[in-house]
Structure 1
Amino acid sequence: MIFLLHVLVWLITVEAKHNVIFLVTDGTGPAAINMARSFKQHLHQINDTDYDYLRYSNPWNEAQINDAHDIAGDPFEYLLTLDNYLIGTSRTRSSSSLITDSAAGATAFSCAIKTYNGAIAVDSNGDPCITILEKLKGKGFKTGLVVTTGIEDATPAAFNSHVHDRSQLEEIAEQQVGFNYRSKRDAITTNIFKAKGMIDDSDVLSQNFRKSFNEDAKIDNHIFGLDLQNEGNDDQINHFTPVTDLMIGGGSCFYLPAGPGSCRRDNVDLIKYAQAINFTTALNINEFNNWKLGKNVTLPALALLAPFNIPYELDRDSKIYPSIHDEVVTALTILNDATKNSENGFFLMIEGSRIDHAGHHNDPQASVREVLAYDKAFRAVRDFIDASDIPTVMLATSDHETGGLTVGLQVGKEYPEYKWDPEVLRRAQHSGEWIRQDLIKFLKPGITEGEIYGKVSEILNILGLKRNEIKKEEIIHLVNLLISNEIDTAVKKFKKLVSRQAYVGWTTEGHTAVDVNIYGYDGKWDILKDFKGAKENIQIGDFLNSLIDL
């Protein structure tokens, strides 16, 4: 009751117009935050030149803002930006398991309901639930999603699409841009796009009319959750209007028609469709840079900057892929400018997506860089809130923990004999994912055993591993794996060597039931005062709904 009264007072105080920014660190447990903080302290302590990419700037104010923890001093006082905004923890189970997946976890946030693993914004019966993004769109807010995976991945999808299983990536992509010719209402639209060559007869109601979208599923007539026209906004939205004004991430593979570079099984070209309904599009770094960090783009806008995921921060070529920081600054600028003369603000969901992948891959050197890149983006959001005259609330959490990460080990039988060495992670120049792609290119017919030995030595150097801590038998084993073309097994072995030398442990390549952190910031408005402690993940969804007084 006290919390709801705070919400009411806050809404009255801010005279309705306000912004909500929700951040998700996929698969990020407390240990991943701990490891990244310790890694950052190590970089600062040795004053490493590689630390430059973590230097902060404030895009909302020409004057540089330096927090106390950014001033040289004792390394244990040198923190993540996140650390100053910890307000609680979240319990993460789904309706079908004590251990959630990202789909059910994101649906807990977007719809404030428990559902089964794999469900994208549908309840345990398979019926769609209206998401907070959809509700806000119906109320006139601008809406946005920023990720570093494909935009149709589970977390972003759970805010603007509805399918029974997260694997239905083609359908998710269609819904994200409002392409819904399965519905009988779409007969005219179908003919229009057939005439423009965007689809052909073979697509209509055959390949695309999947079992999950039959009439019994209630999704065909409910494609964007509730019928928003019945919300009294007939002049603002219709069934062909996408609910998301801005999407930035990867995932072009599911937007392109069948053929090279596409993952679709049909000839639907969703990029052409988006352009036909006046989306501004960016399909590479040059087009994205032309947006001028959001100062040169109009909504709606869609940036698909990789076929699948944007590479790990450790591997990312800045000439080809933007950072999550630049994605976030761009999105904030676009949405802020688009709502300057509006009575309503904006809703933005930001995901530090690939921390989860680093956990699945048991890749510590990738994990620490992903967390630090996210922390830099988090700080940009904080700075935006401080500079804005519009009341803005930021809430950040994770959907679950991935990897069962432990930082440090007892290395001997004698107590205490503990070790954790972040220097090993600093020396690593690439992730296991990059190593895998490099090996695929290398292992061609005719490669000799001697060349493979040379390649193993090269990879050990790239990973910065200490040779004197690797047994001769382990080298021979790696060579034999590559001779047998067992690339994935070899890559796992390389990553285990990194974790071993860094004294980092993993219990699984999947998710765990570990509670995750909640962070929040509301500037000079006091809405978060009573939202603290240990929460169920659906309480985060309830908070988002209560905050907007839906």
Structure 2
Amino acid sequence: MKRLMYVLLFVLLTGVSYAQQAKYVFYFIGDGMGVNQVNGTEMYLAEQEGRIGVKPLLFTTFPVGTVATTFSATNSVTDSSAAGTALATGAKTYNGAIGMDDDKNVLQTVAEKAKKSGKKVGVTTSVSVDHATPAAFYAHQPNRSMYYEIALDLPKAGFDFYAGGGFLKPSTTADKKEAPSIFPIIEEAGYTIARGLDEYKTKAADAKKMILIQKEGAVPSCLPYAIDREEGDLTLPEITESAISFLTKGNNKGFFLMVEGGKIDWACHGNDPATVFEEVIDLDNAVKVAYEFYKKHPKETLIVVTADHETGGLGLGIGKYELHLKSLLNQKQSQDLLSKAITDLRKEKSGKASWDEVKALLADKMGFWKELPLTWEQEKMLRDEYETSFVKNKIVFEESLYAKTEPLAAAAKKVMSQIAMVGWTSSSHTAGYVPVFAIGAGSGLFVGKMDNTEIPKRIAKAAGYK
């Protein structure tokens, strides 16, 4: 009788353990999304409703919320490749490494563990498929700039679904030599390539493995910013939905899906607050897609949301005890498109645009003067830049990691940050904490402050990967 009780207890405990295992794993990474990017977005949403406080994003309502440290093996300030590798493999490495340790040995990723455990695997992003963060989950290269070599690693990993803007160097090696296009190589490995959502819907049913990128002719480096989106543009929520449908078709043994909101980082590099907050909202919309799936499979699904590092040193408040985030609603497009509009005006007027014409453009695109009164100092900043770049024709573009910006657009962005009372300490990464949120099977493992290397280890434990 006593032995029988032990057997029953073992069976019961085994059953409980199995029931709590995550069959479906969603791993969301907001590139550059520090604590203030999240908090600022929630206050931005609250101010839109005419109140002070926060309007929670969905992922901040998850029952588990904490912070993680992000330093790399070589510096307190990490880059995306070292941070991506930490989030993918649970190991620190040098800035620049993709899926390799300090000695350039290959590290196994949590996605590879999921695949070996019989799960289907998806790696998706709003930037290029061969960019640092997604690459860290499937590739193993000594340098993140080896885009062609990273792309060649994609079919070697054998994952089931990839998605993003496109590929940065589809036929050029790291040493700038012409090479066979990666697209036929990937197709010969059994992948179906869909360019755009309509093509994906046509091809998905018969495809064994899939790569979803933007339509032919689109810029391959990334999807458009949410603030700039036009009808028919591929979106991160659509990618997430497509990934779920593809990874659950046929023999459904569960899946692991990484989704990166890559352009939060790009907007932070550009110190463009309105664009940053809209990108965080867009990531949350992708999380909402996963959450709808979670509601159907609450005992088998784990959702983890985090970031690789903070970008920009975003400060919420400058000088006065005030924020005016609602003013950012008057910005109609990203700094990148404002820069293009100014360049177009310069060409249209053969470099002779008047101050009134420039003012009209800024009023239309940023709400200056019409909805947003400017101080004398702010107008002087814009007028001085106009005199330098339009009248004297001394045009010095501001350069950040992912953009070259018209000097007048750069000045307009600074004025907008001043009006909103948002500060920036950097146009690069910082060493600030990043948030970690979790819900579902195994989410209790994510309680307490941790290092970023702990996150994939705890995911693997929650999902029972070998």
Does the CA-based 8 Å contact 1:362-1:495 persist in structure 2?
Answer: yes
Q: 1:349 and 1:338, CA in 2 relative to 1: closer, same or farther beyond 3 A?
A: farther
Correspondence for 1:332 among 218, 232, 244: 244
Aligned equivalents of 2:444, 2:168: Cα separation in 1:
43
Correspondence for 2:38 among 24, 33, 40: 33
Aligned equivalents of 1:502, 1:159: Cα separation in 2:
37
Aligned equivalents of 1:543, 1:97: Cα separation in 2:
24
Aligned equivalents of 1:505, 1:352: Cα separation in 2:
22
Correspondence for 1:425 among 322, 328, 351: 328
What pairs up with 1:452-463 in 2 under 5 angstroms? 454-463=357-366
Which residue matches 2:169?
Answer: 254
Correspondence for 1:311 among 224, 228, 236: 224
Which residue matches 2:303?
Answer: 394
Deviation at 1:497, TM superposition (A): 0.8
Alignment pair present for 1:533 and 2:432? no
Does the CA-based 8 Å contact 2:93-2:102 persist in structure 1?
Answer: yes
* Aligned residue identity for 1:396: V
Deviation at 1:310, TM superposition (A): 0.9
Alignment pair present for 1:481 and 2:389? yes
* TM-score (structure 2 length as normaliser): 0.86
What pairs up with 1:210-221 in 2 under 5 angstroms? none
Alignment pair present for 1:271 and 2:178? no
Deviation per residue, 1:181-231 (Å, 9 max, x gap): xxxxxxxxxxxxxxxxxxxxxxxxxxxxxxxxxxxxxxxxxxxxxxxxxxx
Aligned equivalents of 1:468, 1:78: Cα separation in 2:
28
* Aligned residue identity for 1:468: L
Does the CA-based 8 Å contact 2:59-2:305 persist in structure 1?
Answer: no
Correspondence for 1:468 among 374, 385, 394: 374
Deviation at 1:254, TM superposition (A): 2.3
Alignment pair present for 1:518 and 2:426? no
Does the CA-based 8 Å contact 2:346-2:353 persist in structure 1?
Answer: no
Aligned equivalents of 2:84, 2:426: Cα separation in 1:
22
Does the CA-based 8 Å contact 2:139-2:153 persist in structure 1?
Answer: yes
Deviation at 1:318, TM superposition (A): 2.9
Alignment pair present for 1:374 and 2:292? no
Aligned equivalents of 1:452, 1:318: Cα separation in 2:
33
Aligned equivalents of 2:376, 2:58: Cα separation in 1:
37
Q: 1:540 and 1:15, CA in 2 relative to 1: closer, same or farther beyond 3 A?
A: closer
Deviation at 1:389, TM superposition (A): 7.2
Aligned equivalents of 1:89, 1:389: Cα separation in 2:
24
Alignment pair present for 1:299 and 2:208? yes
Which has the higher mean CA deviation after the structures are superposed, 511-520 or 80-89? 80-89
Which residue matches 1:245?
Answer: 160
Contiguous gaps of at least 5 residues in structure 1: 1-7, 47-73, 179-241, 412-417
Aligned equivalents of 1:475, 1:169: Cα separation in 2:
39
* Aligned residue identity for 1:271: F
What pairs up with 1:25-104 in 2 under 5 angstroms? 25-43=30-48, 45=49, 76=53, 78-85=55-62, 86-104=64-82
What pairs up with 1:183-198 in 2 under 5 angstroms? none
Aligned equivalents of 2:164, 2:84: Cα separation in 1:
17
Deviation at 1:470, TM superposition (A): 5.1
Q: 1:468 and 1:25, CA in 2 relative to 1: closer, same or farther beyond 3 A?
A: closer
Q: State the secondary structure of the residue aligned to 1:486.
A: coil
Correspondence for 2:106 among 121, 128, 134: 128
Q: State the secondary structure of the residue aligned to 1:24.
A: strand
Aligned equivalents of 1:508, 1:16: Cα separation in 2:
41
Q: 1:467 and 1:454, CA in 2 relative to 1: closer, same or farther beyond 3 A?
A: farther
* Aligned residue identity for 2:159: T
Alignment pair present for 1:23 and 2:61? no
Does the CA-based 8 Å contact 1:106-1:155 persist in structure 2?
Answer: yes
Does the CA-based 8 Å contact 2:128-2:167 persist in structure 1?
Answer: yes
Aligned equivalents of 2:281, 2:113: Cα separation in 1:
32
Deviation at 1:84, TM superposition (A): 1.0
Q: State the secondary structure of the residue aligned to 2:282.
A: helix
Which residue matches 1:546?
Answer: 461
Q: State the secondary structure of the residue aligned to 2:443.
A: coil
Q: State the secondary structure of the residue aligned to 1:252.
A: coil
Does the CA-based 8 Å contact 1:285-1:322 persist in structure 2?
Answer: yes
Aligned equivalents of 2:355, 2:155: Cα separation in 1:
47
Aligned equivalents of 1:504, 1:436: Cα separation in 2:
21
Aligned equivalents of 1:122, 1:460: Cα separation in 2:
49
Deviation at 1:407, TM superposition (A): 1.3
- Total equivalences in the alignment: 433
* Aligned residue identity for 2:231: S
* Aligned residue identity for 1:331: A
Aligned equivalents of 2:167, 2:31: Cα separation in 1:
21
Deviation at 1:290, TM superposition (A): 4.2
Q: State the secondary structure of the residue aligned to 1:87.
A: strand
Deviation at 1:460, TM superposition (A): 3.9
Deviation per residue, 1:123-165 (Å, 9 max, x gap): 0111111112122222322110110010111100000001111
Q: State the secondary structure of the residue aligned to 2:140.
A: coil
Which residue matches 1:150?
Answer: 128
Q: 1:424 and 1:540, CA in 2 relative to 1: closer, same or farther beyond 3 A?
A: same
Q: State the secondary structure of the residue aligned to 2:453.
A: helix
Alignment pair present for 1:490 and 2:405? no
* Aligned residue identity for 1:161: A
Alignment pair present for 1:13 and 2:38? no
Alignment pair present for 1:174 and 2:181? no
